[in-house]
Amino acid sequence: MANQPNVTFGALGAGRAGPGMSDAMSGWLLSAPLMLVLAFFLILPIIMIVIVSFWGATEFSIYPAFQFDNYEFLLSSPVTYQVFLATIKYAIITWVCTLLIGFTIAYFLAFHIRTQTWQIILFLLCTIPFWTSNIIRMISWIPFLGRNGLANSALVGMGIVDQPVEWLLYSDFSVILAFVHLYTLFMVVPIFNTMMRIDRSLIEAAYDNGATGLQTLTNVIIPLTKPGIMIGSIFVVTLVMGDFITVRFMSGSQKANVGRLISNDIALLQYPSACATAVVLLVTVLLVIAVLLRFVDIRKEL
């Protein structure tokens, strides 16, 4: 008697291939759609890029080969190292600036704005610039910062400088300014998100125990916000390292980062050499992310 429903159940189950399946199996099946998408649109293209990076190129075509010419030229040129250094420099400076600004904004939103309505309103306010394309937001800096632009006329008009300031535009300064402007929100969002989840009683407890504001910040809030900071950092660093258009426009084509090296190669139909550069860049970015992930276990913290 006790067995019978079991048998029926088992047979039924086998028919639907449901409960009879192991957890591992259903896990694989559930993740299969995403895996397939990633395999087709991420893994395959990357494999392609790696393969083509060993190919050769003529003026107007590429031909299959297995040669190290592209890497040899890339790794033996001092320009490559300068450009990688410049890329990392942009990434670090932008990261520091966006982190400071982003953290401050998120902190203000999360802990100084009392009502949720206002939090939402102010948060949406932060996203308004994103309603226009980022190219437009970037290019609008150009007339502002130019030799005869608003910034310089204001500075000269107020008597702060005699001559227009040249380094405002087409310089590292303008490039980083644009980066910070474009990417700070990517820092604000995840940090704000993790801050909102901090249990307020922890802050009260810190206060009750006599911690100063600064101590609360460094001992309670920052450690608890680490996952948000890390996610924001990954966004900003990868975006900056992969960018080419901001560097091209804001430096007036005078400065280069790895992205521009790749885009120049593509423009000149040198796909294999572009692929080789892309592979080296990919490895660099992965290393940076690996290092970042050493600091915090995102899976655990989320």
Partner 1 sequence: MTDKQKKDGLSRRSVLKGAAATAGAAIGSGAITGFPTIWAQNIKDVTLRQFGTGVSNLNDVAQKVKEDLGFTLEMTALDSDSVTQRAATQPDSFDIADIEYWICKKVWPTGNLQAMDVSRIKNYDKIVGIFKDGKLTPESEIAQGTAPHTVGFIPEPGATTFADEQTNWMTLIPTIYNADTLGIRPDLIGRPIESWSELLNPEFKGKASILDISSIGIMDMAMVCEAMGEIQYGDKGNMTKEEIDKTIGIFTEAKKNGQFRAFWKTFDESVNLMASGEVVIQSMWSPAITAVKSRGIDCVYQPLKEGYRSWGGGIGLSKSLSGLELDAAYEYINWYLSGWVGGYLMRQGYYSAVPETSKEFMSENEWGYWFEGKEATDVITSPTGDKLAEAGDKRDGGSFYDRMGSVACWNAVMDENQYMVRKWNEFIAA
In the complex, which residues of this chain contact partner 1 (CB under 8 A)?
57-61, 73, 77, 79, 82-83, 142-143, 146-149, 166, 169-170, 248, 251-254, 256, 260-261, 264-270, 273
Taking the complex as a whole, how short is the minimal distance between the CB of residue 174 and partner 1, in angstroms? 11
Which CB sits closer to partner 1, 102 or 272? 272
DSSP state letter for 40: I
Of 223, 225, 217, 261, the closest CA to residue 243 belongs to 261
Taking the complex as a whole, how short is the minimal distance between the CB of residue 94 and partner 1, in angstroms? 19
Of 242, 228, 240, the closest CA to residue 302 belongs to 228
Ramachandran angles phi, psi of 56, nearest 5°: -110, 165
Q: Which two tokens stand for residue 19?
A: 């409960």
Indicate the helix (H) or strand (E) that contains 56: strand 56-57
Taking the complex as a whole, how short is the minimal distance between the CB of residue 137 and partner 1, in angstroms? 17
Taking the complex as a whole, how short is the minimal distance between the CB of residue 166 and partner 1, in angstroms? 6
Which CB sits closer to partner 1, 57 or 240? 57
Taking the complex as a whole, how short is the minimal distance between the CB of residue 146 and partner 1, in angstroms? 5
Three-state SS at 54: coil
- How many whole angstroms from its chain centre is CA 123? 20
Which CB sits closer to partner 1, 87 or 184? 87
Label residues 52-76 b or e (16+ Cβ within 10 Å = b).
bbbbebeeeebeeeeeeebbeebee
Which CB sits closer to partner 1, 87 or 98? 87
Which CB sits closer to partner 1, 169 or 182? 169
